[in-house]
């Protein structure tokens, strides 16, 4: 079996370490491996397949002889992505830097894998909330064409990185002890609270996170006619995002048909049994790669509507796993840049 030289930029962060874990779990054929980050993380020791690797400072020459470059997020891909492509690497970028660039494919492998084939060196990984939503929308859109989507998200603190997890844990502990708390990561106390605001406010007082879900979904599904409106909410859950999604279609899709479509679709697990009080929750999705769907029911207020509840691990399927799946498609389709 052919092997591929892989570099992970941002390897010491939560998503970078998860990429390493998933490369190992999925037995991706890694040849030479290089781990890079900022000067702050350089020198750290990480393990891959029980072998130690030292994190290096990222430079343009870090990408020499590398086939696939994973960027775990942040500004690094804007700074080093073009240099990686010039040196023959396929860049798989987890940041928002290139997602809406018309020359860059935005890919969820269960939904639009063929888009990998037209990359020009960079492939973008979508926003975590968008990924799980489009996996849920795809089988319905193929069957009955979606006209409109109304989505509310309930996003875990780990979506804000390790600092978000630490802030929730610290606030929980201090509140239980009756001590004063402070907030640095989130604009308000997150423990025992929720915050209806993720990222900066933009046009029409929607946040950047909300506009990502609109624009990215239309790009991934290749359909600008789908009307989408989103409200994104930070909740005091450590891991895995949840979404309440209302879908309006051109023709009626019954709850039974929707359930069948979901059950037949790759990457979806249906947990939907009200009589037994069974439905997806973050506890079930954490450390899993599937998108979990339940509470499947017809919208009582319109003729062709559905309501569904969708949960997924945003660090795995919403970031690292999706990135590794993109790399698998690059290899499968022979889309490497060989120089």
Phi-psi region of 25 (alpha: psi -120 to 50; beta: other; left: phi over 0): alpha
Radius of gyration of the chain, Cα coordinates, nearest whole angstrom = 20
Q: How far apart are the first and last CA of the chain?
A: 20
Buried residues in 311-323 as b, exposed as e (16+ CB within 10 A): bbbbbbbbbbbbb
Cite the active site residues: 128, 241
Give the Cα separation of 188 and 182 in Å (integer). Answer: 9
DSSP collapsed to 3 states, 84-147: HHHCCCEEEECCCCCCCCCCCCECCCCCCHHHHHHCCCEEECCCHHHHHHHHHHHHHHHHHCEE
Buried residues in 221-230 as b, exposed as e (16+ CB within 10 A): beeeebebeb
Q: State the CB neighbour count (10 A cutoff) for residue 283.
A: 10
Nearest to 127 by CA among 230, 196, 205, 41: 230
């Amino acid at each position: 079996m052919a092997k591929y030289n892989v570099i992970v930029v941002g390897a010491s962060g939560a998503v970078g370490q998860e990429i390493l874990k998933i490369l190992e779990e999925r037995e991706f054929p890694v040849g030479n491996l290089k781990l890079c980050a900022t000067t702050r993380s350089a020198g750290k020791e990480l393990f891959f397949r029980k072998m130690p690797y030292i994190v290096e400072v990222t430079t343009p020459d870090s990408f020499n002889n590398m086939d696939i470059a994973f960027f775990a997020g942040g500004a690094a891909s804007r700074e080093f992505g073009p240099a990686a492509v010039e040196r023959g690497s396929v860049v798989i970028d987890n940041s928002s830097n290139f997602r809406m660039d018309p020359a860059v494919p935005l890919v969820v492998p269960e939904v639009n894998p063929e888009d990998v084939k037209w990359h020009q060196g960079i492939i973008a990984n979508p926003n975590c909330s968008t990924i799980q939503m489009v996996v849920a929308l795809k089988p319905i859109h193929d069957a009955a064409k979606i006209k409109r989507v109304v989505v509310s998200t309930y996003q875990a603190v780990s979506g804000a990185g390790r600092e978000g997890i630490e802030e929730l844990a610290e606030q929980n502990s201090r509140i239980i002890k009756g001590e004063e708390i402070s907030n640095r990561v989130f604009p308000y106390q997150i423990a025992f609270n929720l915050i209806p605001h993720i990222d900066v406010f933009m046009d029409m007082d929607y946040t950047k996170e909300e506009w990502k879900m609109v624009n990215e979904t239309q790009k991934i599904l290749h359909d600008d006619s789908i009307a989408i409106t989103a409200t994104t909410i930070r909740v005091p859950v450590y891991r895995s995002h949840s979404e309440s999604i209302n879908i309006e279609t051109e023709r009626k899709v019954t709850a039974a048909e929707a359930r069948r479509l979901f059950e037949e679709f790759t990457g979806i697990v249906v947990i939907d049994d009200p009589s037994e009080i069974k439905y997806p929750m973050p506890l079930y999705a954490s450390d899993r790669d599937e998108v979990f769907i339940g509470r499947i029911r017809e919208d009582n207020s319109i003729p062709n509507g559905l309501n569904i509840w969708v949960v997924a691990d945003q660090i795995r399927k919403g970031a690292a796993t999706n990135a590794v799946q993109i790399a698998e498609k690059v290899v499968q389709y022979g889309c490497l840049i060989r120089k």
